[in-house]
Amino acid sequence: MLLAGTVVADAETVVEDGAVVVEGDRIAAVGDATDLAERYPDHERHEFGIIAPGAVGAHVHSVQSLGRGMADDVALLDWLNDHVLPMEAGLGAEGMRLAAELGYLECIESGVTTVVDHLSVHHADEALAAAVESGIRARAGKVLMDTNAPDGLRQDAEYALAESEALIWNYHGADEGRIRYAITPRFAVTCTEECLRGCRELADAYDGVRIHTHAAENADEVGVVEERTGRRNVEFLHDVGLTGEDVILAHCVHTDEREREIVADTGTHVTHCPSSNMKLASGVAPVEDYLARGVNVALGNDGAPCNNTLDPFTELKQASLLAKVDAADPTVVDASTAFRMATRAGARAAGFERVGALREGWRADVIGIDTNPTRATPIHDPVSHLVFAAHGDDVRFTMVDGDVLYDEADGRHRTLDADRIRREAAAFDVPGVE
Amino acid sequence: MLLAGTVVADAETVVEDGAVVVEGDRIAAVGDATDLAERYPDHERHEFGIIAPGAVGAHVHSVQSLGRGMADDVALLDWLNDHVLPMEAGLGAEGMRLAAELGYLECIESGVTTVVDHLSVHHADEALAAAVESGIRARAGKVLMDTNAPDGLRQDAEYALAESEALIWNYHGADEGRIRYAITPRFAVTCTEECLRGCRELADAYDGVRIHTHAAENADEVGVVEERTGRRNVEFLHDVGLTGEDVILAHCVHTDEREREIVADTGTHVTHCPSSNMKLASGVAPVEDYLARGVNVALGNDGAPCNNTLDPFTELKQASLLAKVDAADPTVVDASTAFRMATRAGARAAGFERVGALREGWRADVIGIDTNPTRATPIHDPVSHLVFAAHGDDVRFTMVDGDVLYDEADGRHRTLDADRIRREAAAFDVPGVE
């Protein structure tokens, strides 16, 4: 297949009148469209305004998708205890499967090709099966909560770790390697030290398994951890083994100097979720500071009850805008930086190699973007366009590992049954909704 | 015409399975769809997911639309002096007309039915003619700059006021009253006191004419005004007559207690532009404080070089998110408040009566919104959906004064030639672009 258009190969590399040639699951060539059409005359040709690497949603909750709009404008503890946790506790296998499908549907049609997905305590297997069905690239795992959790969600650490291990056997490396496992303790507040240390031991026992958790999202959360452990949130996580190049910490809004040093020194990945941090009034993560220390900062949409969309373009723009107003400096987190966070940095955090840019020999995770809409007129710089003006609705084509998951030209998702999923989701009786 | 669906009549009033009946330029009825279908059996029926009042873009620069993405990630003074002002100085009549058409095109297709439009020094008549052509409701006017402005834009106050007066004669009340005039001094920095006092005199001489200007957007701007006048920006504007119920001040980010009292006491309208304030790192306007004082706060997208879209849904969400993170309180500027700002408050600021809500006898400014997209699934509350998840792309139908300007069912704009405008805009050689 030959995809022709303006190629944004990565944040620094734009090829006007370019093309990307895909063979099997790999990119065979990136370059001038005319040259490549001559070299690959028999390849099926598709034209798009812009061709770009798929986005990486490096912290999402696909299984919260049925809770879109269920709890807007409410304080965080009410949000969690009265709405989100009751939903997670109440959704059965069928609901969890449907929620994950709805989440992947939105991701795929808005240009996300890789997710780091925080599932739930129950029925994580259903969500993982949905990920396989969808064809998306996913680093995902079951949630562990062994303390401070409501009855329907609290599990003994030993049991939760055993279930995690079974899921590693069943899903780590599944779908020809598109699915990789992340051990997913919810956050320090709902996990005992024993549970967290167990997560580290389990991660060390399996090659390529990662750890994904929330950290220092909210000032109250930091206070609870400090009271219980006598240490700051990230400091505590570090002491129990939950930092390192195989760890993805979502949020990291409230960190002090020592914690930032720990994150940088250990190569821990941070996922910035700007819209979620704004909507839940969590605060502004010190993204510029992390970047200056060499921390790998990725981007995430978080979940539908706190954003309320999984469209990666909203976070591209928000990451730049929030940093600018916070620093009182319109030059910080520029378009290239935001784009890098949503692509290469996300792929590094998720732990997939040769993903996040369009290069010869890299995996063919590619999206095609329409540049005909009025908001795409005119385009003076394609990277700026993608960050500041484009929207998930402009995505016309989504490919993972060379497989077309979505092609608007034929009006449909190729893997998921979009009509059924939307119909069932619209009618679903969601627990936790008043 | 009978428009059936979930009717969001205003921020507080939702009619499930509702309908809006339009006769001539007015709303004849709002109510239950079955009842209204019986009462109005011969009316052409259209079905939408949600039917809502059109949005009011209460501070836009339609004529900057060709500069979309021309100057991202740059400091404010470079942004203005190296890019935006050279563009405004360099665009001839043809360019200004095209830019305005492009702006109105984006407004109409993304659900804006009324704009408060800050035009430019030259060729304001072209933009006003484009507004008439488009059928949008507009409060608009020529810009005055008689000091501190580059050669191509500076005009003697006397001349600029005379030209403004001629435009009032030609356009105030045009298009059956859809166009109303706003005298538009750019901001205190580029206008002499004589010019600003002249604006007040001119406004007082014509019934229904308003004044629209920028105020206290940026800390440096406030400093310049203070140095020149010995007064704070809004205090100075008040002293020269530029406050009151006929005045719209865009931004008002950097105001002190005394200025906020002035704004509240005089009934001056404030237009909040959250995305623009973030992207240009201007700061966070004290919206909650204004609302608590009873100030009428509207919403605006500002211009394409600083947002980079005129889609009103981006500002609905941003107004809420920015206020929440700034106040560290997720309950402030809730969905209803944001929706009110974008509709009723905008119409009040713009100075159009019976606009901004769907009520019997009110003007038929109505939009139809698709609720089939994945991001609209599920919808637990239609107002929250419009604020936190919907997007301009979901707008399927836009009507002003009972005239259909845009209907996606037949794939086209009814007033503007969208294909020509987008084609010419994409190819236009924009002054100020490197």
- The stretch A51-80 carries a mean pLDDT of 94
Query: What is the rounded distance in angstroms from the CA atom of residue A110 to the CA atom of residue A393?
Result: 6
Contacting residues of B for A102, CB less than 8 Å apart: 374, 377
Percent of chain A with pLDDT over 90: 97
State residue A21 phi and psi, 5-degree precision. Answer: -100, 130
Length of chain A, in residues: 434
Q: A325–B277: do the CB atoms touch at under 8 Å?
A: yes
Query: What is the rounded distance in angstroms from the CA atom of residue A365 to the CA atom of residue A353?
Result: 12
In this predicted structure, what is the pLDDT of residue A17?
98
Q: Classify residue A363 by burial, with Cβ atoms within 10 Å: 0-12, 13-18, 19+.
A: buried
- Minimal C-alpha gap between A420 and chain B (Å): 11
Query: What is the rounded distance in angstroms from the CA atom of residue A389 to the CA atom of residue B69?
Result: 8
Q: If we measure between CA atoms, which residue out of B325, B335, B287 comes closest to residue A277? A: B325
In this predicted model, what pLDDT tens digit does every residue of B51-87 receive, in sequence order?
999 999 999 999 999 999 999 999 888 898 899 999 9
Q: B281–A325: do the CB atoms touch at under 8 Å?
A: yes
Q: Does B205 touch chain A (CB under 8 A)?
A: no
Q: Classify residue B148 by burial, with Cβ atoms within 10 Å: 0-12, 13-18, 19+.
A: middle
In this predicted model, what pLDDT tens digit does every residue of B263-284 receive, in sequence order?
999 999 999 999 999 999 999 9
Provide the pLDDT confidence category of residue A115 given band limits of 50, 70 and 90.
very high
Q: Does A72 touch chain B (CB under 8 A)?
A: yes
Q: Does A14 touch chain B (CB under 8 A)?
A: no
Q: Chain A residue with minimal CA distance to B277?
A: A325
Mean pLDDT of chain A: 97
Mutation site, A317, A371, A374, A385, interface B, largest B CB count within 10 A: A374
- Minimal C-alpha gap between A391 and chain B (Å): 9
* Domains (range + CATH), chain A: 2-53+355-419 (2.30.40.10), 55-350 (3.20.20.140)
- The stretch B371-388 carries a mean pLDDT of 96
Ordered alpha helix ranges (H), A70-172: 76-78, 85-90, 93-109, 124-134, 157-171
Q: Coil, helix or strand for A144?
A: strand
- Point out the residue among B76, B310, B430 whose CB comes nearest to the CB of A330: B76
Q: Do the Cβ atoms of A428 and A98 come closer than 8 Å?
A: yes
Contacting residues of A for B374, CB less than 8 Å apart: 102, 105-106, 109, 418, 422
Q: Chain B residue with minimal CA distance to A432?
A: B380
Provide the pLDDT confidence category of residue B249 given band limits of 50, 70 and 90.
very high
Q: Do the Cβ atoms of A152 and A90 come closer than 8 Å?
A: yes
Mutation site, B371, B377, B433, interface A, largest A CB count within 10 A: B377
A344 forms beta bridges with: none
Query: What is the rounded distance in angstroms from the CA atom of residue A248 to the CA atom of residue A242?
Result: 9
Q: Coil, helix or strand for A282?
A: coil
Percent of chain B with pLDDT over 90: 97
- The interface predicted TM-score (ipTM) is 0.97
In this predicted structure, what is the pLDDT of residue B75?
84
Q: If we measure between CA atoms, which residue out of B11, B324, B44, A209 comes closest to residue B19? A: B44
Percent of chain A with pLDDT over 70: 100
Q: B74–A372: do the CB atoms touch at under 8 Å?
A: no
Contacting residues of B for A329, CB less than 8 Å apart: 75, 281
- Point out the residue among B75, B374, B384 whose CB comes nearest to the CB of A72: B384
**Which pair of structure tokens corresponds to residue A182?**
């992340």
Q: Does B181 touch chain A (CB under 8 A)?
A: no
In this predicted model, what pLDDT tens digit does every residue of A348-372 receive, in sequence order?
999 999 999 999 999 999 999 999 9
Q: How far does CA A377 lie from the centroid of its chain?
A: 29
Q: A74–B325: do the CB atoms touch at under 8 Å?
A: no
